[in-house]
Structures are given as structure tokens and as C-alpha cells.
Amino acid sequence: MATDLTAPAPPRPDVAAIQRRTLRLLFLTQIVGGLGVAIGISVGALLAARIAGTALAGLAQSAGVVGAALLAVPVTRLMAARGRRPGLVLAYLIGATGGVLVVAAAVTRLVPLLFVGMLLFGGGTAANLQARYSAVDLAEPARRGRQLSLVVWATTIGSVTAPNLASFADDATRGWGVPTLAGPFVFSAVAFVLAAVVLFALLRPDPLRTARRLAAAEPAAPAGPDRAVTRRGGMVAAWRTVRRRPAARLGIAAVAVGHLVMVAVMSMTPVHLGEWHSDADVLRVVGIVLSLHIAGMYAFSPVVGWLTDRLGRRPVILGGVALLLAACAVAGTAGHHTPPLSVGLALLGLGWSGTMVAGSTLLSESVPAADRPGVQGLSDLLMGLAGAGAAAVSGFVMRAVGYPTLTLLAAIAVVPLVALAVRRPGAEPLDEEG
């Protein structure tokens, strides 16, 4: 049948309206998803210690981190094929399944089931991390940093509220025969299912698929080797795309290195505090110090996003690196003085925010829309593995050479990132076609 060349082209969608709706929806589900993640994590180590013993409690908690990293791979492959909505829904449902299995492990006291449950529980974290990328699919170039940071900031609400609900969740589910400390995971599973249902019903049109249709309608650039390679999918193909783009390499390195430094120092700070505080005081002091750290990570992310758009991606990454170095210096020299240690941990959170927001923004805009899910999945995989590795190694370093040396080694870890950030590539556009 002949094609009618005079037929009008389909109308261009109202991108601004779709983006506003997408941001509102992501903001809401980030609150719910953040609550689901944090309420489970707040008691995860204690529950694991009761089921598996203290020696395995840390490994059970790390399983959730590793799970979030590994689940980024299938989730982003689904996004590449079907769009953001099915990928986010799948991740939340996997997280809900993990929460149910953790509860089952608490009932049966089966340690292998606990580890499987914690691994799958990482799906909630994977969904929360991928949501930040969904915020920039249709964002205007001058507002990408702010809109990504807004979704990151929404996590603060759920994360801060969740620990205060853990006791209520435990009391509310005890009448159902749920063991002590397992009730929060029931709430986590419900929160993840709620987020999945809302996204499945309302995340329409899909922002990634819309961005791809708009990119396809633009005057086509010659198909280069990047596009041909990435179409085959997978992490290897994503790495080939990143390797060809210096800005993408910087973005992925900023996210991974910032996370590695943050986790290495943060994870051992409670242990360091426990060296000179009594058992009666340590939980109170740890709560204050880590609350300031979390505030640094999330509370100021809209400001970091504004600076990312205003000053540029590289300057904010370098600013984040400077804050990480300052944090290591302040925390490492604080000795047995809690106020400077609190300042150091707050600076650590701010530095992480700078590398995370600016790095994620730079990464997203440095690759074509069709290639983003795979590259973003690679970024979250490397970030998660860097954090898990830092958490595992930091304990041995702490025991062998102490907290000050740990902070020194963490500071040294950012040197390659500085070298990468100060080396400006040739003329490389920062639009979605890279």
C-alpha cells in the first residue's frame, strides 16, 4: 500500500507537561521507596545477628548492597527494551519479594533464606537509584542537575522518617505472629508494592520511550560505531560506549569513587565512636553523627543540583572531591572529639552529594538516549560494588592500622578522579546525542 507523503506528522508531545508529571510521580514514589528501604535497613543488622549470629550480621547487611548492584543489570536491560516503567516496577517487586523472604527467614530461622532475602531486598535500593535517571530523560539541558537532585532529595523524607517507624511496625505486626524485628520488613514489602503499583498505573507516557521517539524525529546524525555496538546490549557494550566518551568516563568515575570514599569512612565511624563511648551513650552519639551525615548526603541536594546547572558538571565534581578530602582530614584528625567528627561526617555527605548529582547528570547527558539504560546500569553496578568492597575492606583496615589511617587511604583513593576531572577533553557536546 502506498504511503501518503502529504499526511501530517504526528503532533509533538507536550514535553514540559510530561516532565512535570513524571517528576511529581517520582518524588512521591521516592518517598515511599526510601521509607521501605530505610525501615528495613534500620533493623537489618540486629535481625541478622539474632538469626545468623553477630559474625554474619555484617555480611547479611552487605548482601543488600550487593543485591542492589547486581539487580541493576537485569533492571536496566528491561528498561533498554521496554522503558523506565517496567524496569522500576520489576525492581520494586523484587525488593518486596526480598522483604517477604526475610520475614520467612525470621520465622524459620533459616540463614540461607535470610541471605537470599537480603540480596533480593536490594531491589528496592536499585529502583530508588534508577529513579534519579528517569528524572533527566526529558529534562531541559539547563535544568537536568536540579531535576535529578530533586528526586534524590525526596529520598530524605522517607529515610529520615523510617527509623522512627520501626518500633511501630514491630508492634503492629506482632499480633500476626511476625517475630520481633521482622515487622519493619513487612512494612518494607508493602511500601515497595505500593510504589510499584503507582508507577505501573501512572508513569505514562514512559519518559525514556518518549525521549527516544523525540530523538528519532530529529535530523539523524550518521550512525556511528557506538550505536551499532550498544544495540547488542549488556554491560560489555555499555562499557564500550563509556570508553569512547571522556565525559561519560568522568561521570561514572565520580559516582563510583565518591561512593567508595563515603562508605569506607562512614561504615567505620560507629566503630570508632564505640572505642571511647560507653554502651549507654554510643547509640545516642552514633545517631546524632549519622543524622548529620545523612543530612549532608540528601538535604542539600537541590542546592547541589542548582550549582551543577549554574557552574557546570566538572566544577561541582571537583567541589565534591574537595569536600571529600576535607571530610577525611577533619574526621581523621578529630581524635576522641565528637563535634569535629560530626563536622567531618557532614562534609563527607556533602562531598558524596556533589559527586553523585553532578556525576549522574554528566553521565546521562553524555550518551544517546537509546544507550542510557545500559550505561546507567553499569554505573550503579560499579557504584554498588565499590561501596560493598569499601565496607568489607574498611573493617580490616580499621582493625590493622586504625581510623586515622583509614581516612588517609580514603583520601588517596580520590586522586585518580582528580586527574580525570582536570583533564578536559576536546570539543565534546553535552547533549543527549553525546
Grid cell, residue 130, equals 534508577
Q: Please give the pLDDT value at position 329.
A: 97
SS3 (DSSP) at 144 = helix
CATH number of the structural domain spanning residue 135: 1.20.1250.20
Range with lowest mean pLDDT among 34-43, 147-156, 295-304, 356-365: 34-43
432 domain-assigned? no
> Mind listing the pLDDT tens digit for each residue in 189-200?
999 999 999 999
Listed residues 180, 212, 244: the one ending a domain = 212
Confidence at 427, pLDDT banded by 50, 70, 90: very low
- Mean pLDDT in residue range 297-306: 92
* pLDDT mean across residues, the chain: 86
425 band by pLDDT with thresholds 50, 70 and 90: low
Q: Which of the four pLDDT bands, split at 50, 70 and 90, describes residue 221?
A: very low
pLDDT in tens, 354-405: 999 999 999 999 998 888 999 999 999 999 999 888 887 888 888 889 899 9
Task: Decide if pLDDT at 41 tops 90.
Answer: no
Residue type, 380: D
Among 177, 212, 247, the domain-final residue is 212
pLDDT at 137 over 90: yes
Q: Express each pLDDT in 100-123 by its tens digit.
A: 999 999 999 999 999 999 999 999
Lowest mean pLDDT among 246-250, 275-279, 370-374: 275-279
282 pLDDT higher than 80:
no
Q: Is 226 a member of any domain?
A: no
* pLDDT (mean) for 66-86: 93
Same domain as 342, residue 246: yes
E strand or H helix at 207: helix 207-217
Give the residue-averaged pLDDT of 342-352.
Answer: 95
Q: For the purposes of burial, counting CB atoms within 10 Å of the CB of 431, is it exposed (0-12), middle (13-18) or buried (19 or more)? A: exposed
> What average pLDDT score do residues 344-359 get?
96
| 337 pLDDT higher than 60 | yes
* Residue-level pLDDT at 399: 83
Residue 411 lies in a domain: yes
User: Can you give the residue range of the structural domain that contains 69?
Assistant: 15-212
- Picking from 137, 132, 130, the residue whose alpha carbon sits closest to that of residue 148 is 132
Neighbours of 340 (CB within 10 A): 13
217 falls within a domain: no
Q: Give yes or no: residues 37 and 96 share one domain.
A: yes
Number of domains in the chain: 2
Of 45-49, 74-78, 183-187, 368-372, which range is least confident? Answer: 45-49
Provide the pLDDT confidence category of residue 230 given band limits of 50, 70 and 90: very low
Whether 177 and 255 map to the same domain: the answer is: no
Q: Which of 155, 182, 212 is the last residue of a domain?
A: 212
Note whether 166 and 261 are same-domain residues. no
- Answer yes or no: is 25 within a domain: yes
Q: Answer yes or no: is 162 within a domain.
A: yes
- b/e sequence 170-200, b meaning 16+ C-beta within 10 Å: beebeeeebbebbbbbbbbbebbbbbbebbe
- Model confidence over 10-35: pLDDT tens digits? 567 889 999 999 999 999 999 999 89
Look at residue 136 in the predicted model and tell me its pLDDT.
92
Same domain, 379 and 236: yes
